[in-house]
């Protein structure tokens, strides 16, 4: 028999590109394996002398974080296995240290996992597919691996897939929830609609989903109602002007969405095949409707046309990350996103099996997951109210930590370690005992987890003792760690001069149209100037800069009326302070003659400024101008 089969160290470790078979452990054959990484930590692995990387080792790749922990990859080739058993003996792995039994209660303190603790490795599409296969290939589920969560990829196979009773619980919860949390775009599924009814229903769902992106439901309800009152069908929207559409959108932000909606309506209505009816499949929606991505396409296809398509927004990613115990970066790591989308796809198809080819179930299921994420499974979850705790990995882990129930850390030499998750380090988790002392969690096997294995019936799960309020705090603290949170980028701060230039003869104001690309694209504004980053802004310096700026625009400073105030405005990536200045140009009796206007400039009546397509921040500047009385 080959050395690499008999050598235990070689069997358990693999490098990128190797393929192997795990028939005895239920692993799929010939899966592309992701590198096995072992964190060097003195409290977990005996210290070994460092040696230069060999051709069979993958050295630590570069990282922006200077505090990046070291990772090593052990030998896996026949040659390296032979050398391990040759004349030069290798140090034996240290035995797992014994942990004495402790009685623990109260809460667990868990530090945020280090989001930069994985090495930077490029993965191909084939690697992602292999990873997905390794997670979903089997219906069996590993037990929980606390306290430090070393586990195989199959740990993330969602238990919700094999719990029909829990699926039903979520659907029943949503049926009650939508009857109390009313939204005008939520309507009964059209089983046998006419083409006109189906076209209007698809249009209503489409507009609601675009508006709901980055916007609170309470805000969207008012906008959606006004929109539908003005343009009740896609034909009505197609016949509107872009200026009207953008003006109606004012206040929702991300104004490019409004332009894409208008362009898409014109295309769908004018297309010889679509003729005003949105396509019913995800592929066709993404291909033919501008501005429609995978999520929106899935929502339209499932809610309107009854197709079993996943709907994965930020709320659903959070719900599934906790359900699957997936401590990964759902927004920044494509592998994690792919796994969550795959889970969502399998779940909606499982739920839809009992509803026929097309039914209301896919749409209800997708909306139920989103509703759960927006009301219960929020960044700080209300786990006591959740209808799907029976299948939630994060809930079970948190409850186990609260009660001091831990399972033996699995021997990862017998399998493949998950590379999607960040591990909790030994010093990242402490249990507070009843006397206030900090102690490490136990590592003992517990029958507690048996109730959380896939396929268990609801009666068995319901026999578990409900958590106390103190235990529930620990559960919530643990669940809050999912999904992995990347450090937020610091919001950039800027200052600008907003110069309102008014003609004395007719009271009109000079306004500019912003470029078609970039922030607030295509909106109208008063002439504005971004101050340099190194600017030491004072009222005196701002007056001089505004005079210079206006002189360059109209050839004269005219009558400077002063700085009226400052309007602060916050974008997702920018905090802007707009200093509003007022100027008057006396063009009566042969006075000042203004230069010809450029293509993006025009004069607008003060009575009509409120009707212009301006951003909300600029309209606040206009309110300040009107209130000044100057």
| Residues, the chain | 630
Which residues in the chain are classed under CATH 1.10.340.30?
Answer: 190-305
Dist CA 142 CA 230 (whole Å): 55
Q: Active-site residue among 61, 177, 204, 209?
A: 209
- pLDDT, one tens digit per residue, over 558-603 is 789 999 999 998 887 889 999 999 999 887 766 666 667 787 899 9
Q: Is residue 374 within 8 Å of 120, Cβ to Cβ?
A: no
Beta bridge partners, 431, equal: 108, 439
- pLDDT, one tens digit per residue, over 402-441 is 887 655 555 555 556 788 888 665 444 554 444 444 444 4
- In the residue annotation, 494 being an active-site residue is answered as no
- pLDDT, one tens digit per residue, over 61-89 is 333 333 333 333 333 333 333 333 444 44
Which residues in the chain are classed under CATH 3.90.79.10?
Answer: 492-628
> What is the architecture of the domain spanning 492-628?
Alpha-Beta Complex (3.90)
Q: Which two tokens stand for residue 20?
A: 């192997």
**Chain centre to alpha carbon of residue 5:** 42
Residue with tokens 């790749």: 61
Q: Which two tokens stand for residue 589?
A: 């009796």
Span 520-549, average pLDDT: 90
Provide CATH code, domain 190-305: 1.10.340.30
Lowest mean pLDDT among 113-122, 262-271, 333-342, 607-616: 113-122
On average, the pLDDT of the chain sits at 76
The string of DSSP letters for 86-110 reads SSSPPPPPPPPPP-------S-EEE
Lowest mean pLDDT among 172-176, 387-391, 613-617: 613-617
Q: Is residue 206 within 8 Å of 278, Cβ to Cβ?
A: yes
Q: 319: closest CA among 423, 385, 393, 216?
A: 393
């Amino acid at each position: 028999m080959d050395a690499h089969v008999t050598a235990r160290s070689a069997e358990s470790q693999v490098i990128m590109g190797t393929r192997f078979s795990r028939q005895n452990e239920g692993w799929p054959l010939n899966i592309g394996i992701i590198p096995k990484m072992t964190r060097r930590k003195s409290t977990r692995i005996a210290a070994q002398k460092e040696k230069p990387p060999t051709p069979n080792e993958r050295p630590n790749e570069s990282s922006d974080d200077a505090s990046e922990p070291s990772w090593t990859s052990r030998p896996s080739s026949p040659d390296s296995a032979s050398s391990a058993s040759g004349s030069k003996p290798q140090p034996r792995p240290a035995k797992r240290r014994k942990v004495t039994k402790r009685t623990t209660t109260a809460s667990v303190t868990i530090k945020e996992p280090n989001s930069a603790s994985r090495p930077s490795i490029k993965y191909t599409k084939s690697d992602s597919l292999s990873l997905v296969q390794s997670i979903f290939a089997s219906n069996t589920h590993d037990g929980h691996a606390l306290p430090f969560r070393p586990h195989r990829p199959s740990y993330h196979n969602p238990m919700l897939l094999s719990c029909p009773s829990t699926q039903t619980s979520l659907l029943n919860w949503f049926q009650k929830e939508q009857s109390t949390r009313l939204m005008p775009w939520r309507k009964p599924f059209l089983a046998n609609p006419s083409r006109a009814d189906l076209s209007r229903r698809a249009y209503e769902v489409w507009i609601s989903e675009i508006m709901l992106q980055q916007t609170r439901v309470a805000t969207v309800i008012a906008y959606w109602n006004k929109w539908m009152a003005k343009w009740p069908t896609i034909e009505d929207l197609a016949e509107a002007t872009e200026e009207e559409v953008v003006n109606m959108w004012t206040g929702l932000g991300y104004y490019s969405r409004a332009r894409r909606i208008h362009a898409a309506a014109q295309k769908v209505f004018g297309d010889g095949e679509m003729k005003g009816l949105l396509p019913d499949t995800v592929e066709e929606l993404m291909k033919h409707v501008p501005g429609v991505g995978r999520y929106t396409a899935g929502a339209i296809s499932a809610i309107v046309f009854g197709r079993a398509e996943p709907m994965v927004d930020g709320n659903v990613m959070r719900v599934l990350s906790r359900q699957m115990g997936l401590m990964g970066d759902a927004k920044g790591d494509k592998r994690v996103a792919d796994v969550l989308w795959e889970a969502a796809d399998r779940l909606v198809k499982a739920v839809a099996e009992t509803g026929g080819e097309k039914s209301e179930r896919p749409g209800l299921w997708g909306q139920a997951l989103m509703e759960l994420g927006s009301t219960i499974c929020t960044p700080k979850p209300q786990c006591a109210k959740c209808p799907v705790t029976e299948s939630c990995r994060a809930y079970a882990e948190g409850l186990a930590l609260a009660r001091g129930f831990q399972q033996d850390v699995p021997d990862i030499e017998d399998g493949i370690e998950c590379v999607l998750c960040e591990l909790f380090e030994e010093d990242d988790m402490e249990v507070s005992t009843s006397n206030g002392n900090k102690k490490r969690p136990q590592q003992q096997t517990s029958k507690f987890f048996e109730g959380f294995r896939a396929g268990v019936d609801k009666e068995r799960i319901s026999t578990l003792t409900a958590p106390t309020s103190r235990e529930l705090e620990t559960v919530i603290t643990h669940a809050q760690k999912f999904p992995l949170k990347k450090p937020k980028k610091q919001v950039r701060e800027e200052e600008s001069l907003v110069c309102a230039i008014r003609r004395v003869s007719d009271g009109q104001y000079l306004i500019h149209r912003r470029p078609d690309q970039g922030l607030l694209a295509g909106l109208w504004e008063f002439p504005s100037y971004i101050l340099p980053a190194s600017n030491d802004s004072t009222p005196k310096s701002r007056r001089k800069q505004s005079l210079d700026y206006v002189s360059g625009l109209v050839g004269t400073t005219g009558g400077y009326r002063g700085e009226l105030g400052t309007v602060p405005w916050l974008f997702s990536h920018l905090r802007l302070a707009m200093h509003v200045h007022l100027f008057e140009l006396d063009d009566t009796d042969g006075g000042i003659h203004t230069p010809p206007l450029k293509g993006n400039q025009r004069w607008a009546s003060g009575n009509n400024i409120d009707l212009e397509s301006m951003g909300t921040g600029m309209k606040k500047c206009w309110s300040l101008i009107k209130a000044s009385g100057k």
